[in-house]
Amino acid sequence: MSKNKVNTKVLSGFVELLPEQQKFFNYIKDEVRASYEKFGYFSIDTPTIERSEVLFAKAGGETEKQIYRFTKGDNDLSLRFDLTIPFARYVADHYNDLVFPFKRYQIGKVYRGERAQKGRYREFYQADIDIVAENNLSIMYDVDIISTIFSTINNFHFLFVLGLGFATIKISNRKIWEGFFEEFGITGDKKASIMGIIDKKAKMTAEDFNTELSEVVGDEKITSLILKLFEVEYMGKIGISIPDKYHADFTFINKNEKMKEGISELETVISTLKAGYPDSADTFTLDLSIVRGLDYYTGTVFETYLDDYPDFGSIASGGRYENLCDNYTDKKICGVGGSIGLSRLFIPLIESMKIKEDIFLNVLILPQNEACYKKAFVTELNLLSFFKEEQIIRNISAIYEDKKFKKLMEYANKLQTLLVIIIGDDELANNTLTLKNMISGEQSTQSLEATKEILKNTLKK
């Protein structure tokens, strides 16, 4: 780059892909969308810019610092940092026009001015689903969210098997911990600190975790009970069970309504998912160390990890919330949602893959000189109409370059073209077209009508 030129490199933490990579990312995004729609979620598209007060009403400490905030005229504005807060505002604002329970999806970019580091983006796609209703929402909707997320990710099974291995969805319920903390009178900052440590458990060694936990708890008996809770497993027909050897320690559960409720909900969620996906029953596991950082979750919480790359962090997560719309409306809206981190999951994969797009351009028309340009254009439109009639979804392009035939064929090769239509002086004089299959090498000259037949046989699946 010479001096006086503006820096054209994409900003640090931002992503842009080359066309063949973009095509692959679009394919993934389209499949996610189709999957969400299949499960009966409706699309909404909120503005990227929100009033700052809307976002700051819900953003926590770290997130607040990451918000892109600015003024325009008298307006204090910010870029959304997730799709959940804007959705909460949307529900409050359009309450009277929506049918509840309302199932919506939104796939869009969100913005976080994080410190630049590997795998962290400042602009990235989230693909969210949520179900909300007033006052009550069956625990079955928690099942619906996790089921939709699982089924959607499972569409990319081929990718997981190729490059990412398998994934496990770890499910918990915050009511169990809420009940536990109530039982021992742990509240406020102390509760938050303990939850914070539990949230980091997967990233720490057992030793570091135990030390830090017991420091913060400051009570040996309670620390020991917490550690024992992590051994709780989902036991098939018995449901969730405390290991026999600890039964005496946990008799208080029978009198703790919140813990009982959490356990019962968690049992329903896991058992129903296992029943719905018998071939993938092992994907759904109970893990009480899943608590999720965000304050607004109140029941079911889940995170999804790649079995072979636990350090990659959660690729899809969500949970149940009761008070998300509190700042926006007097109505008591409860909901459950989930989100797939599209960019975080797929961009590194796409950037590292040598993407081999089999066919990039289906038909390329190559007029040999300027006299043939108009015929090339009319032929292109003619074939596109024919494709429409025959419901053949394929692309056609023409190249108008006054270059040697060899150069034109090089262009066709670079764009991985399947079929080339050559129009030279002979074709013009005889009103014919020469068709060449770039894979088989077959070449033939015939009328437009005969060419259409060959195209139909080659391109129609």
Q: Which of residues 97-126 bind its own copies (CB under 8 A)?
A: 97-99, 101, 103-104, 109, 111, 113, 123
Q: Does 69 bind its own copies (CB under 8 A)?
A: yes
Asked if 129 contacts 103 with a C-beta cutoff of 8 angstroms, the reply is: yes
Q: Does 398 bind its own copies (CB under 8 A)?
A: yes
Q: Does 339 bind its own copies (CB under 8 A)?
A: no
Q: Does 166 bind its own copies (CB under 8 A)?
A: no
Q: Residue 21 phi/psi, 5° resolution?
A: -70, -40
H/E segment holding residue 172: strand 167-173
In order of 154, 180, 222, 225, 231, the CA distances from 186 in angstroms are 40, 9, 10, 14, 21
Amino acid letter, 117: Q
Residue 186, token pair as written in the block:
């742990």
Least Å from the CB of residue 275 to its own copies? 6
Asked if 48 contacts 108 with a C-beta cutoff of 8 angstroms, the reply is: yes
187, 211, 369, 397: which one binds its own copies (CB under 8 A):
397
Non-local (6+) Cβ contacts of 205 within 8 A are none
Least Å from the CB of residue 77 to its own copies? 8
Q: Which is nearer to its own copies, 44 or 316 (CB)?
A: 44
Stretch that binds its own copies, among 68-76, 168-176, 226-234, 440-448 (CB under 8 A): 68-76
162, 235, 371, 393: which one binds its own copies (CB under 8 A):
393
Stretch that binds its own copies, among 283-291, 315-323, 386-394, 419-427 (CB under 8 A): 386-394
The strand pair at 102-111 and 42-43 is best described as parallel
Binding mask 230-259 for its own copies (x = CB under 8 A): ------------------------------
Q: Does 39 bind its own copies (CB under 8 A)?
A: yes
Q: Which is nearer to its own copies, 123 or 178 (CB)?
A: 123
The interface with its own copies within residues 12-31 (CB under 8 A) comprises 14-19, 22-23, 25-26
Least Å from the CB of residue 205 to its own copies? 33
Q: Which is nearer to its own copies, 111 or 302 (CB)?
A: 111
Query: 75 pairs with which residues across the strands?
Result: 72
Q: Does 411 bind its own copies (CB under 8 A)?
A: yes
Least Å from the CB of residue 203 to its own copies? 26
Q: Does 429 bind its own copies (CB under 8 A)?
A: no
Q: Does 143 bind its own copies (CB under 8 A)?
A: yes
81, 141, 156, 209: which one binds its own copies (CB under 8 A):
141
- Among residues 261, 408, 389, 379, which one has the least CA distance to residue 322? 261
H/E segment holding residue 337: strand 333-340
Asked if 263 contacts 176 with a C-beta cutoff of 8 angstroms, the reply is: yes
Q: Which is nearer to its own copies, 17 or 450 (CB)?
A: 17
Least Å from the CB of residue 381 to its own copies? 5
Query: 126 pairs with which residues across the strands?
Result: 108
Q: Output the DSSP codes for 184-238.
A: TT--HHHHHHHHHHHHTGGGS-HHHHHHHHHHHH--HHHHHHHHHHTT-EE-GGG
The secondary structure of the chain in percent helix, strand, coil, rounded to multiples of 5, reads 45, 20, 30
CA distance 267 to 139: 10
Q: Output the DSSP codes for 4-73.
A: TPPP-SPPTT-----HHHHHHHHHHHHHHHHHHHHTTPEE----SEEEHHHHHTT--HHHHHH--EEEET
361, 366, 418, 420: which one binds its own copies (CB under 8 A):
361
Q: Does 263 bind its own copies (CB under 8 A)?
A: no
Q: Which is nearer to its own copies, 187 or 369 (CB)?
A: 369
Helix and strand totals (H; E) in the chain: 16, 18
Stretch that binds its own copies, among 66-74, 168-176, 242-250, 453-461 (CB under 8 A): 66-74
Q: Does 94 bind its own copies (CB under 8 A)?
A: yes
Q: Which is nearer to its own copies, 201 or 320 (CB)?
A: 320
